[in-house]
């Protein structure tokens, strides 16, 4: 005989991703696409992704009351909740993040380690393909003849770290960033050598992040 629904024992920390210094294009993309406070280049930021999705409301309450951070994103999609907070002071962002972990009984080690699901490297982009991508991009235009990198990462919010490190490393153009959902995706363009450098920097940044393995 059924005794009723089973209750979860606690939230799951999917993403805990700190960005020490937002690069200009990444900051501009978030500012153009987020419903909350507009971040600026040079600020520090933190992405926290939770499951179930409603846990993000409690995380936001804790983070915003802990220090003078401001939120750009508080989103619940089909399965997960995502919070982004930022500040001119790295210490404030780190303090808010630690307050969330402490209150929820979690540590940074409880986050899921990022996994690169796929990378696509395309040289000499065809004009028709550039037109198709430009129809829905939120960042800069993709010019025909440039090289294009598409990277897919899980959990999704880690793509923000990958894109920021790519922009630090090379003279690339941010075409699109999508940090919400089951997978995060970034689209970057530039010369072939710059896109290769950006890709390698993004991969290295993700590989250096620790955490538990994703459940299968």
Within a domain: 130: yes
* CATH number (domain holding residue 45): 3.30.70.1710
CB contact set of 172 (below 8 Å; sequence gap of 6+): 149, 166, 188, 189, 190, 194, 195, 198
d(CA 128, CA 144) in angstroms, rounded, equals 8
Q: Which residue, among 33, 52, 13, has the nearest Cα to 160 in the 3D structure?
A: 33
Q: Is the pLDDT of residue 1 over 70?
A: no
Interatomic CA distance for residues 23 and 20, integer angstroms: 10
Judge if 182 and 154 occupy the same domain: yes
Encode pLDDT of 161-202 as tens digits. Answer: 999 999 999 999 999 999 988 899 999 999 999 999 999 999
Tell how strand 70-76 and strand 44-51 pair up. unpaired
User: Does residue 214 lie within any of the structural domains?
Assistant: no
pTM over the 0.85 mark: yes
In a domain, 216, yes or no: no
> What is the pairing mode between strands 184-190 and 173-178?
antiparallel
Bridge partners of 49, per DSSP, are: 15, 82
Residues 143 and 159 in one domain: yes
Residue 2 confidence (pLDDT):
47
Q: Which helix (H) or strand (E) holds 216?
A: none
pLDDT tens, residue by residue, 9-58? 679 999 999 999 999 999 999 999 888 999 999 999 999 999 999 999 99
Greatest extent of the chain over all pairs of C-alpha atoms, in Å: 65
Percent of the chain with pLDDT over 90: 88
In a domain, 132, yes or no: yes
**Residue 148 pLDDT more than 70?**
yes
Positive or negative torsion for Cα 10, 15, 18, 19: negative
Q: What is the pLDDT of residue 77?
A: 84
- In total, how many domains does the chain have? 2
Backbone phi and psi for residue 156, each to the nearest 5 degrees, phi listed first: -65, -40
Helix (H) / strand (E) containing 161 = helix 159-169
State the residue range of the domain holding 87: 12-110
Instruction: Answer with the residue of higher pLDDT: 105 or 1.
Output: 105
pLDDT at 3 (0 to 100): 54
CA distance 72 to 75: 10
In terms of domains, do 104 and 121 share one? Answer: no
Residue ending a domain, among 61, 80, 110, is 110
> Strands 44-51 and 81-87: what pairing?
antiparallel
* 3-class secondary structure, 50: strand
Q: What is the DSSP string of 110-122?
A: GSBPPEEEEEEEE
5 or 128: whose pLDDT is higher? 128
The rounded distance, in Å, linking the Cα atoms of 87 and 93 is: 6
Kindly tell me if the per-residue pLDDT of 106 is higher than 50.
yes
């Amino acid at each position: 005989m059924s005794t009723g629904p089973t209750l979860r024992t606690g939230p799951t920390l999917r993403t805990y991703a700190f960005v020490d210094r937002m690069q200009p294009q990444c900051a501009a993309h978030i500012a153009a696409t987020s419903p909350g406070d507009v971040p600026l280049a040079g600020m520090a930021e933190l992405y926290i992704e939770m499951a179930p999705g409603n846990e993000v409301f409690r995380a936001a309450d804790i983070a915003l009351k802990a220090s003078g951070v401001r939120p750009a994103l508080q989103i619940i999609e089909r399965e997960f909740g995502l919070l982004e907070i930022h500040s001119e002071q790295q210490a404030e962002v780190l303090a808010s993040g630690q307050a969330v972990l402490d209150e929820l009984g979690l540590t940074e080690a409880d986050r899921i380690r990022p996994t690169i699901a796929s990378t696509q490297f395309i040289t000499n982009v065809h004009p028709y393909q550039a037109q198709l991508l430009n129809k829905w991009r939120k960042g800069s235009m993709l010019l025909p003849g440039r090289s294009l990198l598409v990277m897919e990462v899980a959990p999704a919010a880690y793509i923000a770290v990958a894109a920021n490190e790519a922009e630090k490393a090379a003279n690339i153009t941010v075409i699109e960033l999508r940090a919400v959902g089951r997978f995060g995706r970034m689209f970057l363009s530039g010369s072939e050598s710059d896109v290769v450098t950006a890709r390698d920097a993004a991969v290295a940044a993700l590989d250096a992040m620790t955490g538990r393995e994703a459940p299968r």
